[in-house]
Structure 1
Amino acid sequence: MLFLFEGLYGRGAERVSLGLISRLDRARFEPSIWILRAEDALRGEVPPDVPVTVVLRGDERIRHALLRVPATLLRQARAADVVVGTVELMPTYFAGLAALLTGTPAVGWVRNSLDHTFAEQPSWHRWLSRQVYARLSRLVFVSQGVRQTLGRLQHLRAERTRVVYNPVDLRRVRDWGQEAPPAWARALFVRPTVLAAGRLSRQKGFDVLIRAHARLVAQGVEHDLLIVGEGAGHAELLALARDLGVEGSVHLPGYVANPYPLMRRAAVFALSSRWEGFANVVVEALACGVPVVATDCPSGPAEILAGGRHGLLVPPDDPEALAGALGRVLADPALAARLRAGGPDRAQAFAPEVTVPQWEQVLRQTAASGA
């Protein structure tokens, strides 16, 4: 099995892919990794028994290695039973190219709502993706919503599609959650704390969350808001907190390598996203036993929370509704206790023991079916 990456970036998509690779049954699967760019943020998470090929060196671009890139890809694809593009667009295009030129069947792993992805990319991606995705042996989607979104944009053959939820490393979440929180955070949890985590971008809707927080503060609900993550929106979010008069209770510490001790101590975990693909962080929050309030955005949160049975769902881009749901959990100990108690059991539905065998079935069927 050959898994194609653009780079080992420190993102959830690459981390989940490496987690799957590490858990494949070695009696049946021999995974290998092909990486276009030398970006090694997650190199330490590559299983030691998996061979890795990195094609571009340093600051090289594809145009500097027009022969080397396809030569290494096709050589390894011919030796594989299945090629997997681990992320949409570039890795999946390479998987499609390998399948076309070698006859090795290919799988595309679709993780995001591609309507939003296409909106942020040059227009030629829409055309090229239609040529590639329709010809892949299998498309694996991380949620039903992601499959439905692509189905509205392109014609998909249902028998070639499959939804497999992301395998979330619940053991690591639990073990890391036992560690002490950072020294700077210990004073925070004197008051109830609403926690959020993610890249500081428009997608994550942290501006909506800060507005919801300000509404609760104006209503006299004492609490802090802690948003962990880094990104281009940091200064803008701080400015918004100042404008709303809540800069003293909004905390933006940046990247936190281990957020799980913070999750365990939070009164509520808030997902304020405008869109997602799956939202691993919601599963992680459930595993930590923290009540979850999430936007019912496309896609993922409603599926994870089973339509609201395991957490509260609110419309995206609605500070008033988000404030109301957060306020309910903060004010109702019985509701908070029920959500805390049920979270870890719900998280088990996304454990590797459940989802990795589903991936193994996809790989076996794809190898048996041919290109």
Structure 2
Amino acid sequence: MTNKKINLLFITDYMECGGRERVIIYLLNHLNRSKFDSSLLLIEKKGEFLNKVREDVKIKNLMKTNTLRDEIFLARAFRYMQRVYNVCKIINSEKPDIVFTPSTTISPLAIFAKLFARKTRVIINVQGNLTADLKQNLKNKFFLERIISILIYRMYRMADKVICVSKGVGEDLNKKFCVPKDKIVVIYNPIDVEEINKLQNEEIDDLYFENDNLKIISVGRLHIQKAYEYLIEAFKVVRENEINANLIIIGEGIERANLENLVDDLGLGDCVIMPGFKKNPYKYIKNSDLFVLSSIFEGHPLALSEAMACGVPVISTRCPSGPDETITDNVNGMLVPMRNEKALADAMINLLKDRSTAERLAKEGIKRANDFDLKKIVKEYEKVLIDVISKK
């Protein structure tokens, strides 16, 4: 390979708060500038994370009109074909060496565009367990689920590489969607340990953190994937065991109203707090007694690794995929069955009462979190990017 910089085009839907957006930011901001020249193409130029992208990164906005949501089927189909055309046009014009996308909806566009720009390589970054994701998000939409499954089956094998964020995600792609093993590379999601260590020490001025109650915290979108209803039900059991604790769920999303109704129905309105999105969640995690991930599916949850980096004991469901690759049960955290509020409540009660075990898990958790440090993970990405270009 020559000394010429590798031209990278990242494509995603938008830059709202989420794991895949965070990974794109880390790569855009930290890939070696002497080796890579990166730009970003967004379907919609919006989101809380837009201002985190370095100023020298060129950002393009694909659609300046309304999105595919809330349109009749034919209108959505027409607009999707517009996207295909526009993505192909941009790729054909800019001729990037590599197109990189973590979006399930955009991956087929990138593969289709590759047919017209044959020298361009395509890397798909899979951030979640696709089988579990499709089953949950397309429940009672069998026809649509089948179409998307067929697209994944047909398109992903045409990518030059498929980077999966955990072994479980890669195994699912290989077994359920027949993506060849030699196409799959596992790279865990990165966390910025240095930034976390700095931000976690900022002062908290929120009143709900001033009382002496124990603090149980979770961070993530208010979405069915996170299964917060089980966490809230389990928290009720914790309170019934005469443990004075607050549950703080940081994040925003479409399930807010349902979760607030559940909190009211269970009579927990005075001890469950949902303050919405927080720019710096780490200071809240650091000052909590316990972090809980109650998800029913993941990929490699960033919030879990970040909580471990904050030195807080963690409990996670053993959901597909990722938590059981991050946590060794009863060594650096605790794993419980998903959708099981009793098991979750028992684990929370045990760690809140047994502080020596909690401290031991927290110390080991810090060591484990360092395995996902940004500097190490970015080098793994750089190696894959260079290898893809090197292969004729």
Q: TM-score range by the shorter chain?
A: over 0.9
Amino acid at match of 2:12: F
- What are the equivalent positions in structure 2 for 1:1-371 lying under 5 Å apart? 1-59=8-66, 61-62=79-80, 67-76=85-94, 78=95, 80-87=96-103, 89-103=104-118, 104-119=120-135, 120-121=137-138, 122-123=144-145, 124-188=147-211, 190-370=212-392
Within 1, Cα distance between the matches of 2:82 and 2:160? 31
Cα gap change, 1:305/1:184 in structure 2, threshold over 3 Å: closer, same or farther?
A: same
- Is the 8 Å Cα contact of residues 174 and 180 (structure 2) preserved in structure 1? no
3-state secondary structure, aligned to 1:90: coil
1:135-188 Cα deviation digits (max 9, x unpaired): 111000001111112222111211111000011112222211111123233324
RMSD of the TM alignment (CA)? 1.8
Amino acid at match of 1:118: L
- Is the 8 Å Cα contact of residues 332 and 362 (structure 2) preserved in structure 1? no
Cα gap change, 1:298/1:67 in structure 2, threshold over 3 Å: closer, same or farther?
A: closer
Bigger drift between 51-60 and 136-145 goes to 51-60
The percentage of aligned residue pairs carrying the same residue is 28
TM-score by length of 2: 0.88
TM-score by length of 1: 0.93
Cα gap change, 1:157/1:10 in structure 2, threshold over 3 Å: closer, same or farther?
A: same
1:108-136 Cα deviation digits (max 9, x unpaired): 10001101332324232111111110111
- Is the 8 Å Cα contact of residues 333 and 362 (structure 2) preserved in structure 1? no
- Is the 8 Å Cα contact of residues 291 and 339 (structure 1) preserved in structure 2? yes
- Is the 8 Å Cα contact of residues 56 and 62 (structure 1) preserved in structure 2? no
What is the aligned residue count? 366
- Is the 8 Å Cα contact of residues 174 and 181 (structure 2) preserved in structure 1? no
Unmatched 5+ stretches in structure 1: none
Amino acid at match of 1:325: A
Cα gap change, 1:275/1:247 in structure 2, threshold over 3 Å: closer, same or farther?
A: same
- Is the 8 Å Cα contact of residues 222 and 228 (structure 2) preserved in structure 1? yes
- Is the 8 Å Cα contact of residues 122 and 160 (structure 2) preserved in structure 1? yes
Cα shift at 1:307: 4.4
Unmatched 5+ stretches in structure 2: 1-7, 68-78, 139-143
- Is the 8 Å Cα contact of residues 4 and 85 (structure 1) preserved in structure 2? yes
Amino acid at match of 1:344: I
3-state secondary structure, aligned to 1:101: coil
Amino acid at match of 1:166: N
Cα gap change, 1:217/1:5 in structure 2, threshold over 3 Å: closer, same or farther?
A: same
Cα gap change, 1:237/1:369 in structure 2, threshold over 3 Å: closer, same or farther?
A: same
Amino acid at match of 2:265: D
1:186-209 Cα deviation digits (max 9, x unpaired): 324x11111111111221111111
Cα shift at 1:314: 0.4
Within 1, Cα distance between the matches of 2:175 and 2:84? 35
